[in-house]
């Protein structure tokens, strides 16, 4: 005996319960009432789901005043369990001195774990609330800087959320 | 003598209405199941998604017909044909209205006016087993075979209870003709209460209803196609329109069973107290046809709601219920009815 829990099975059903039919009608009544309850379906293309700030959508690069925060340290690429991120660093005249020449995320490989966001020292890569990702080819699924850069204003909710919970 | 073309017209109407209704029921089933599960269901094709039926049929027709390499091709082809033709035949003897006067003819509103009515129906529903079990056997697939075997076992066990529960009705109506059975239900008990067999034969009604679920392979008894255990059951290896025929015959069977329940127990086309209405006979006849349709659709709705309420029986529970509960109850019902028929004249 692995567990000493005793299984209690009710045996003294009343005659009405043993007749099945009254209980079946009670069940039918329950399902019948369900028909008039509000529906939980989203009418998808017209009506869309807006995820809360805690949602982990596709990772994006935060852009402030036209420049990405990223300093191309490569930690995200290092921590990525699916090896989806590729970063190439270079030097710049700006205060941060380093910037990514190339920043690519292979969205077919990405598993939306959010490790890149967690490890980033600059809060430069965050998970957005976008989740509609469909591709018709492997090449299309590799997102470069053009697709990844997102103005910080758009990511306000997420950045706020990160401040609170980190 | 009623001319030949009237009969042809009747056949055409019944088959047409039956096929349309079956398609409509598949759609209704999807919508209602969705509502019961707090979903919306198919609502994109046409108003409220009603043309989903057409989309489904087009899809089924266009699909490739795959026959497994090891299958017995001839039998594999014949099985769905048996299913659908048997399903369509059964409706032939069900009266969907009273005698109607049209073009100077007295037309009985049923396709085949045979004197063995109810026996014909019981025989035809038993024929339906062939379609299912042959499909299961010819597919050469263990799941299909198990589904076919289960269906034959199930149908044989429940046919007994079904037949015996009908005997009570036959004893009351003293006729095998379904139109006579309906006519017998147009009387009133104590002058005001409709003498539908549902009230005269409550036990028989319940037994017949339960057996009808088993006969149509509907959910509490849908062991022949129990998805979690048998993949798709007897139609696992069917695709395209051959699968479509099986599906259609299942729904036609459901409508036929509902029609049969209506005819035998719910007073058929009878509208209570309509005898005193001041309407022309032809309007009354049409109203009666309408009443029949409404009754049948209510029973069909009940079938659908039951499907989404009650979980599937285990195989041994199914057999227990059939042989140890329904069959003795049906026998008791026959005995009780006999005693009542014998004793009531003495009391009154």
3-class DSSP string for chain B: CCCHHHHHHHHHHHHHHHHHHHHHHHHHHHHHHHHHCCCCCCCCCCHHHCCHHHHHHHHHHHCCCCCCCCCCHHHHHHHHHHHHHHHHHHHHHCCCCCCEEECCEEECCCCCCCCCHHHHHHHHHHHHHHHHHHHHHHCCCHHHHHHHHHHHHHHHHHHHHHHHHHHHHHHHHCCCCHHHHHHHCCCEECCCEECCHHHHCHHHHHHHHHHHHHHCCCHHHCHHHCHHHHCCHHHCCCCHHHHHHHHHHHHHHHHHHHHHHHHHHCCCCCCCCHHHCCCCHHHHHHHHHHHHHHHHHHHHHHHHHHHCCCCCCCHHHHHHHHHHHHHHHHHHHHHHHHHHHHHHHHHC
CB contact (8 A) between residue B39 and residue A41 = yes
Cβ pairs A/B, distance under 8 A = 34
Burial B30-68 (b: 16+ CB within 10 A, else e): bbbbbbbbeebbbeeeeeebeebbeebbeebeeeeeebb
pLDDT at A3: 62
- Between B39, B40, B305, which is nearest A31 by CB? B305
* Residue A27: closest C-alpha in chain B: B309
Task: Give the pLDDT mean for A55-82.
Answer: 90
Q: What are the residues of chain B with a beta carbon less than 8 Å away from any beta carbon of chain A? A: 32, 35-40, 206, 305-306, 308-310
CB contact (8 A) between residue B305 and residue A32 = yes
Q: Could you tell me the pLDDT band of residue A105, with boundaries at 50, 70 and 90? A: very high
Residues B151 and A127: their CA atoms lie apart, in Å, by 54
- What is the secondary structure of A60-101 as a DSSP string? EEEEETTEE------HHHHH-TT--EEEEEEE-SSTT-EEEE
Residues A153 and A63: their CA atoms lie apart, in Å, by 9
Residues B210 and B221: their CA atoms lie apart, in Å, by 9
From the list B291, B297, B299, B268, the residue with the least C-alpha distance to B93 is: B268
Residues of A in contact with B40 (CB under 8 A): 39, 41, 43
Asked if residue A107 belongs to a domain, the reply is yes
Residues of B in contact with A38 (CB under 8 A): 38
CB contact (8 A) between residue A31 and residue B206 = no
pLDDT at A2: 56
Tens digits of pLDDT across chain B (348 residues): 677 887 888 888 888 888 888 888 988 888 888 888 888 888 888 788 888 888 888 988 898 888 888 888 888 888 888 888 888 888 888 888 777 777 777 777 777 778 888 888 888 888 888 888 888 888 888 888 888 888 888 888 888 888 888 888 888 888 888 888 888 888 787 777 887 887 888 888 888 988 888 888 887 887 777 777 777 778 888 888 888 888 888 888 889 889 889 888 888 888 877 777 777 778 888 888 888 889 999 999 998 888 888 888 888 888 888 888 888 989 999 999 889 888 887 876
Residues 6+ apart with CB under 8 A from B204: B165, B166, B168, B169, B197, B265, B330, B333, B337
Angstrom CA distances, B230 to B144, B145, B277, B322, stand at: 7, 9, 54, 22
Residue B188 phi, psi (nearest 5): -125, 140
pLDDT at B154: 84
For residue A105, the domain's CATH number is: 3.30.70.3270
Asked if residue A89 belongs to a domain, the reply is yes
Asked if residue A25 belongs to a domain, the reply is no
Asked if residue A28 belongs to a domain, the reply is no
* Residue B220: closest C-alpha in chain A: A24
End-to-end CA distance of chain B: 43
Domain count, chain A: 1
The residue of B218, B298, B310 whose CB has the most chain A CBs within 10 angstroms, and thus the best one to mutate to test that interface, is B310
CB B185 within 8 A of CB B201: no
Residues B227 and B313: their CA atoms lie apart, in Å, by 13
Residues 6+ apart with CB under 8 A from B227: B233
Q: Could you tell me the pLDDT band of residue A1, with boundaries at 50, 70 and 90? A: very low
Asked if residue A73 belongs to a domain, the reply is yes
Full domain range(s) for residue B87: 4-347
Residues of B in contact with A41 (CB under 8 A): 39-40
Full domain range(s) for residue A112: 59-165
pLDDT at A119: 92
Residues of B in contact with A21 (CB under 8 A): 206
Q: Is the model's pLDDT at A114 over the cut of 80? A: yes
pLDDT at A50: 87
CB B53 within 8 A of CB B28: no
pLDDT at B48: 83
Residues B159 and A107: their CA atoms lie apart, in Å, by 59
pLDDT at B87: 86
Asked if residue A116 belongs to a domain, the reply is yes
Q: How far is B305 from chain A (nearest CA, A)?
A: 7
Residues 16-75 in A contacting B (C-alpha not used; CB under 8 Å): 21, 24, 27-28, 30-32, 34-35, 37-41, 43
Asked if residue A3 belongs to a domain, the reply is no
Residues A138 and A124: their CA atoms lie apart, in Å, by 26
Average pLDDT, chain A: 86
* Residue B37: closest C-alpha in chain A: A34
Task: Give the pLDDT mean for A41-65.
Answer: 88
CB contact (8 A) between residue B35 and residue A34 = yes
Asked if residue A88 belongs to a domain, the reply is yes
CB contact (8 A) between residue B38 and residue A39 = yes
Residues of A in contact with B311 (CB under 8 A): none
């Amino acid at each position: 005996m692995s567990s000493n829990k005793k299984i209690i099975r009710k045996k003294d059903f009343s005659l009405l319960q043993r007749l099945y039919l009254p209980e079946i009608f009670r069940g039918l009544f329950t399902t019948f009432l369900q028909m008039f309850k509000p529906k939980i379906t989203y009418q998808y293309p017209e009506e869309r789901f807006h995820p809360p700030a805690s949602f982990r959508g596709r990772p994006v690069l935060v852009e402030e005043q036209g420049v990405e925060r990223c300093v191309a340290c490569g930690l995200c690429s290092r921590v990525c369990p699916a090896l989806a991120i590729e970063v190439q660093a270079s030097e710049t005249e700006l205060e941060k001195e380093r910037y990514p020449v190339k920043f690519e995320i292979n969205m077919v490989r990405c598993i939306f774990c959010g490790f890149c966001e967690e490890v980033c020292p600059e809060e430069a890569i965050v998970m957005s609330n976008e989740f509609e990702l469909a591709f018709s080819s492997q090449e299309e699924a590799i997102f470069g800087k053009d697709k990844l850069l997102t103005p910080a204003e758009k990511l306000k909710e997420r950045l706020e959320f990160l401040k609170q919970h980190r | 003598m009623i001319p030949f073309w009237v009969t042809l017209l009747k056949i055409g109407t019944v088959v047409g209405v039956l096929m349309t209704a079956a398609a409509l029921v598949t759609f209704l089933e999807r919508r209602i199941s969705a509502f019961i599960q707090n979903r919306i269901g198919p609502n994109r094709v046409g108003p409220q998604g009603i043309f989903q039926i057409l989309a489904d049929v087009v899809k089924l027709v266009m699909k490739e017909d795959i026959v497994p390499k090891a299958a017995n091709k001839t039998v594999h082809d014949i099985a769905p044909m048996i299913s659908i033709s048997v399903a369509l035949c059964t409706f032939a003897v069900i009266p969907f209205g009273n005698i109607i006067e049209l073009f100077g003819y007295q037309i009985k509103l049923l396709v085949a006016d045979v004197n063995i009515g109810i026996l014909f129906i019981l025989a035809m529903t038993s024929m339906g087993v062939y379609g299912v079990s042959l499909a299961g056997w010819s597919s050469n697939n263990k799941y299909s075979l198990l589904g076919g075997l289960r269906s034959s076992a199930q149908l044989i066990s429940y046919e007994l209870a079904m037949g015996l529960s009908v005997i009570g009705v036959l004893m009351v109506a003293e006729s095998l003709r379904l139109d006579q059975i309906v006519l017998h239900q147009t009387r009133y008990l104590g002058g005001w209460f409709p003498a539908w067999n549902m009230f005269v034969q409550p036990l028989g009604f319940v037994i017949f209803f339960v057996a009808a679920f088993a006969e149509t392979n509907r959910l509490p008894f849908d062991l022949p196609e129990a998805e979690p255990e048998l993949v798709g059951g007897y139609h696992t290896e069917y695709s395209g329109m051959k699968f479509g025929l099986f599906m259609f015959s299942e729904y036609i069977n459901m409508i036929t069973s509902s029609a049969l329940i209506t005819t035998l127990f719910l007073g058929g086309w009878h509208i209570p107290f309509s005898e005193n209405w001041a309407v022309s006979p032809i309007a009354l006849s049409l109203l009666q046809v309408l009443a029949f349709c409404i009754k049948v659709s209510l029973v069909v709705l009940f079938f659908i709601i039951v499907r989404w309420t009650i979980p599937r029986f285990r195989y041994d529970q199914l057999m227990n219920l059939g042989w140890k509960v329904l069959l003795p109850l049906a026998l008791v019902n026959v005995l009780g009815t006999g005693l009542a028929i014998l004793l009531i004249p003495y009391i009154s």
